[in-house]
Chains A and B, each alone.
Chain A
Amino acid sequence: MKGLLKKLAFTAMFCLLIVAGAYAAPEVRLIVGQGTDPVILDPPMYSDTPTHNINLLIYDRLYDLTKEGTVVPSLAVDLPKIEENGTKYTIKVRGDVKFHNGAKFNIDDVIFSFNRGAFNDKSQMKSIFAMMYDMKKVDDYTVTFRTGKFDATKAPAGTTENTLKSFDARTPYFKPAAFGSQLNQLTWLGASIVSKTTLEKAASDGTLKDYGITWAIGTGPFKFESWAQGDSLTIARNTDYFDKTIKTNATKITFKTIKDPSALKTAFLNKEVDLIMNVVPLDARELETQGATILMTNGNFGYHYLAFNMKSPRVGQVNADGSPDLDGTYDLESASTKLRMALVYSVNPSDIVNSPDIIDKKGKVTLQYVETLPFGHIADPAGTRMTEGNDKTGYYNAQKAKEYFAQVPASMKEPGSLKLTALSGSMYVKEALVIKDQVKRTLGVDLITIEQVALSELATRRGNADPKVWDLLVNWTQTDDSYYIFVAFDGDNTSLLHDTKFYSKGAQTWIEKGNSLANGPERNAAYQNAAKEVLKVMPRVPLVAIFGISACQKDIGGVEIFPSGSFRLSDATKGLKK
Chain B
Amino acid sequence: MTRYIFRRLLQLIPVIIGVTFIVFTLTYISPGDPARMLLPQDASTQDVAHMRSLMGIDQPFLTQYFHFLFGFKGPGDGSFDYKGLVALDLGRSYVSNRPVFGTILQRFPNTALLTVIALTLSIAISIPFGILSATRQYSKTDMTVTILALIGLSMPAFWLGMMLIWIFSVQLRWFPSLATPANLKSIILPAITLAAMNTAVQTRMTRSSMLEVIRQDYVRTARAKGLDEKSVIRHHALRNALIPVVTVIGLQVGQLLVGAVLTETVFSYPGIGTIMVDAIQRKDTPQILASVVFVAIVFALVNLVVDILYALIDPRIKAQYVTKRKKRTARTPALQGAAGAR
Contact = CB atoms under 8 A, between A and B. Distances in A.
Interface in A239-298: 256-260, 262-264, 266-267, 269-270, 272
For the complex of A and B, 4 pairs with smallest distance between CB atoms: A456-B32, A456-B283, A231-B270, A230-B270
Contacts of B36: 456, 459-460, 463
Contact of A122 (B38, B265, B270): B38
Interface string B12-54: 0000000000000000000111101111111110111011001
Interface stretch (B174-182, B209-217, B231-239): B174-182
Given A272-B177, A459-B36, A37 B41 contact: no
A5 to B, nearest CB: 43
A263 B282 CA distance: 22
B42 to A, nearest CB: 5
Contacts of A36: 278
B316 interface: no
B268 A263 contact: yes
Contacts of A228: 270
A320 B147 CA distance: 68
A267 B177 CA distance: 6
17 contacts: A37-B278, A45-B97, A121-B50, A121-B51, A122-B79, A127-B40, A209-B97, A229-B98, A229-B103, A230-B271, A257-B268, A262-B162, A262-B266, A263-B266, A456-B282, A457-B32, A487-B41
Nearest to B39: A124
Interface string B211-234: 000000000000000000000000
A544 interface: no
Interface in B95-124: 95-98, 103, 106-107
Contacts of B103: 229
Contacts of A495: 42
Nearest to A495: B42
A229 B33 CA distance: 24
A572 interface: no
Most buried by B among A263, A457, A462: A263
B178 A258 contact: yes
Given A125-B40, A462-B41, A267 B96 contact: no
B33 A498 contact: no
Interface of B: 31-34, 36-44, 46-48, 50-51, 54, 76-77, 79, 92, 95-98, 103, 106-107, 162, 165-166, 169-170, 173, 176-178, 180, 265-268, 270-271, 274-275, 278, 280-283
A263 B79 contact: no
B265 A260 contact: yes
Nearest to B277: A259
Contacts of A127: 40, 42
A553 B50 CA distance: 47
Contact of B76 (A121, A259, A456): A121
B266 A126 contact: no
A480 interface: no
Q: In which size bucket is the chain A interface?
A: 35 or more
Contact of B107 (A230, A258, A456): A230
Contacts of B278: 36-37, 230
A454 B281 contact: yes
A389 to B, nearest CB: 27
A12 interface: no
A329 to B, nearest CB: 23
A231 B280 CA distance: 18
B189 to A, nearest CB: 11
Interface string A127-163: 1000000000000000000000000000000001010
B184 to A, nearest CB: 15
Contact of B267 (A232, A263, A453): A263
Given A122-B38, A269-B170, 20 more contacts: A121-B79, A125-B40, A162-B47, A162-B50, A230-B278, A231-B268, A232-B180, A256-B268, A262-B162, A263-B265, A270-B169, A270-B173, A272-B176, A454-B281, A455-B282, A456-B33, A456-B283, A457-B32, A463-B48, A487-B41
B170 A270 contact: yes
Interface in A160-213: 160, 162, 209, 212-213
A270 B176 contact: yes
A487 B268 CA distance: 34
A263 B180 contact: no
A63 to B, nearest CB: 21
A60 B51 CA distance: 29
A263 B98 CA distance: 26
Contacts of B170: 266, 269-270
Contacts of A561: none
Contact of A40 (B97, B169, B176): B97
Contacts of B54: 121
A471 interface: no
Contacts of A46: 95
B283 to A, nearest CB: 3
Contact of A260 (B50, B176, B266): B266
A490 interface: yes
A30 B30 CA distance: 41
A494 B44 CA distance: 10
Contacts of A256: 178, 268
A39 B266 CA distance: 21
Contacts of A122: 38, 79, 97
Contacts of B44: 162
A102 to B, nearest CB: 26
A209 B282 contact: no
Contacts of B47: 162
Contacts of A45: 97
A257 B165 CA distance: 17
Given A256-B268, A259-B265, A459 B37 contact: yes
A266 B179 CA distance: 13
